[in-house]
Amino acid sequence: MFPMDPKRKISRLQGRLSARFDLVTDAVPVGPLRVQFTRVRDPQKVLNDLCERIDAYERATGTRVNGDELGLPYWAELWDSAMGVGQWLIKESGKWRATSDEMHSSGVIAHRSVLDLGCGLGLAGTVAAMLGAEVLFADIEPECLLFSLLNGLRYRSDVEARRVNWQTGDLSRRFDVILGSDILYDRSQWPFLTKFFDRHLDSRGTVLLGEPGRITGEMFVPWIQEQGWHVQEKQEHIPNRATPIRLFELIRTMHTT
């Protein structure tokens, strides 16, 4: 069987998503580039619709839905942290092309294997695909994987998406770069994330995390250093935001047992 043409894949994904959501497709400015990007027109409506369905279910069954089972649609938002990660990737790629320096840990994304973990709508991974990376989008929510595939396929025909729970999942491969946009908000998840990084990061690879300035971000740096990771902190100023996005570049300095 021949692989499906990317344009046909995009058309099918667009149709599938438009049957469920009110979509908007436009050119999202990320640094000097414009990313053709499809997203939910009104993320709040997605949340309201979910709450209505849960309320109807609870009234009909008399069973209260546990908070852990809600599956709140955080993925429907286009998060500033993803914008910051994407903007930094573009900036670093441009520096490399301008100077012709040798490839270093995170300065070049082209031809490298990239995991966009907790990808949401997939902006950071889509930028990586634009820059020539081999991208796998990963998230626990199936809806956002459809969006990330749709967006990534516009720039690279071999992007992939996999559903994964970083607490327990194993993708059975390693990556040169792992991206994460606003995935540090829950401190209880940090031990699961570091174990996931250890299982999936190449020995010379880099983790790049975007963080919007929460108190948990301040707490994360000393914590991750104690786990044997070198941290280099950067900042990205993005349009229409008063405070910069913090970027944490992580490199393994020692392996723990």
> How are beta strands 113-117 and 134-139 bridged, if at all?
parallel
Task: Return d(Cα 58, Cα 186) in angstroms, integer.
Answer: 27
Task: State the pLDDT at residue 74.
Answer: 74
pLDDT of res. 6: 80
Tokens 């990061």 map to which residue? 201
Instruction: Quote the pTM value.
Output: 0.87
Using DSSP, state whether 38 is helix, strand or coil: strand
The token pair that represents 122 in the structure block: 């997939």
Q: Compute the C-alpha angle 91/224/113, nearest 5°.
A: 45
Per DSSP, what are the bridge partners of residue 251?
A: 230
The pair phi, psi for residue 16, each rounded to 5°, is -65, -45
In percent, how much of the chain has pLDDT > 70?
81
d(CA 181, CA 89): 13
Model confidence over 174-221: pLDDT tens digits?
999 999 999 999 999 999 999 999 999 999 999 999 999 999 999 999
**Model confidence over 155-178: pLDDT tens digits?**
999 999 999 999 999 999 999 999
What is 6-39+73-252's CATH number, 3.40.50.150, 1.10.150.110, 3.90.1200.10, 1.20.1090.10?
A: 3.40.50.150
